[in-house]
Chain A
Amino acid sequence: EVQLVESGGGLVQPGGSLRVSCAASGFSFSNYWMYWVRQAPGKGLVWVSRIKSDGSSTSYADSVKGRFTISRDNAKNTLYLQMNSLRAEDTAVYYCAREYGDNDFDIWGQGTMVTVSS
């Protein structure tokens, strides 16, 4: 079964750091661009970051640029998002997603909740 499973979410204080992970299974992970998309409670979807299949190219939304780092380990079939200098407005469910064609996403994880609060 094609599957993405996120982990690593939790409660963190403002200014703190957290790394969330996304374990892929059932497909050739190393062949796909991967993305992180977040959704604040009761709000819409927001694109966060993307990474090329071989990890050689990354991009970020302006709101997280310089604070978040996307990476991947193709040997472990795992995608990561390192989040530093966290702010209250980063509170959201973080989804990883697989690119289907161009800039669209056919497989999503169940999401992991990140709460930034003192």
Chain B
Amino acid sequence: QSALTQPPSASGSPGQSVTISCTGTSSDVGGYNYVSWYQQYPDKAPKLMIYEVTKRPSGVPDRFSGSKSGNTASLTVSGLQAEDEADYYCSSYAGSNNVVFGGGTKLTVL
């Protein structure tokens, strides 16, 4: 149950696009289409932004999109806004009824 690998930080200017990667193995990210992304503000609970690799829950802006290639999933935030500044976590089903999270990426809007 090793954590998925995310870059510690990412940044972009308002209006730009930024992509956050999430690297696992063939036993988790690469083996299942059950990758999710969460947004978390300081001292707040996480919020589901993307599920099943590419799907957005109701109410999540279409500026947020997800994708996957092999063992690496990605979250892209287009048209960056100040309120997008937060921590982002990926997660994946890892077989045997286990779920594994990434270490988190702090997104800064410059």
Q: A-side interface residues toward B, CB under 8 Å?
A: 35, 37, 44-47, 50, 57, 59, 61-63, 95, 100-106, 108-111
Q: Does B102 contact A (CB under 8 A)?
A: yes
List residues of chain A with CB within 8 A of the CB of B48.
Answer: 100, 104-106
Of residues 28 through 63 on chain B, the ones whose CB sits less than 8 Å from some CB of chain A are: 34, 36, 38, 40, 45-48, 51-52, 55, 57
Q: List 9 A-B contacts (CB under 8 A).
A: A44-B89, A45-B104, A47-B99, A50-B97, A100-B48, A101-B52, A101-B55, A104-B48, A105-B46
**Bound Cα distance from A101 to B36, whole angstroms:** 10
Are A102 and B100 in contact, CB atoms less than 8 angstroms apart?
no
Q: How far is the CA of A109 from the CA of B44 in the complex (A)?
A: 9
Q: Does B64 contact A (CB under 8 A)?
A: no
Residue in A95, A100, A101 whose beta carbon sits within 8 Å of that of B45 in the complex: A95
B1 within 8 A of A: yes
A57 and B97 alpha carbons, distance in the complex (Å): 10
Q: Within the complex, what minimum Cβ distance (angstroms) separates A55 from chain B? A: 15
State the Cβ distance, B55 to closest chain A Cβ, in Å. Answer: 8
Nearest to A52 among chain B residues (CB) is B97
The B interface, classified by DSSP as helix, strand, loop or mixed, is: strand
Q: How far is the CB of B37 from chain A (nearest CB, A)?
A: 9
9 closest Cβ pairs, A-B complex: A59-B97, A108-B45, A104-B36, A104-B51, A47-B99, A103-B93, A44-B104, A45-B101, A44-B103
Contact A104 B45 (CB under 8 A): no
Pairwise interchain contact A104-B91, C-beta atoms closer than 8 A: yes
- Closest beta carbon of chain A to B38's beta carbon, Å: 7
**B3: Cβ under 8 A from any A Cβ:** yes
Shortest C-beta distance, B102 to chain A (Å), equals 7
Whether B69 is near chain A, meaning CB under 8 Å from some CB there, is no
Within the assembled complex, what's the spacing in Å between the Cα atoms of A111 and B93?
22
Please judge, given known A-B contacts A100-B51, A103-B91, A106-B57, whether A50 and B3 are in contact too, CB under 8 Å.
no
B98, B99, B100, B104: most-surrounded residue (chain A CB, <10 A): B99
**Is the pair B93, A100 in contact by a Cβ cutoff of 8 Å?**
no
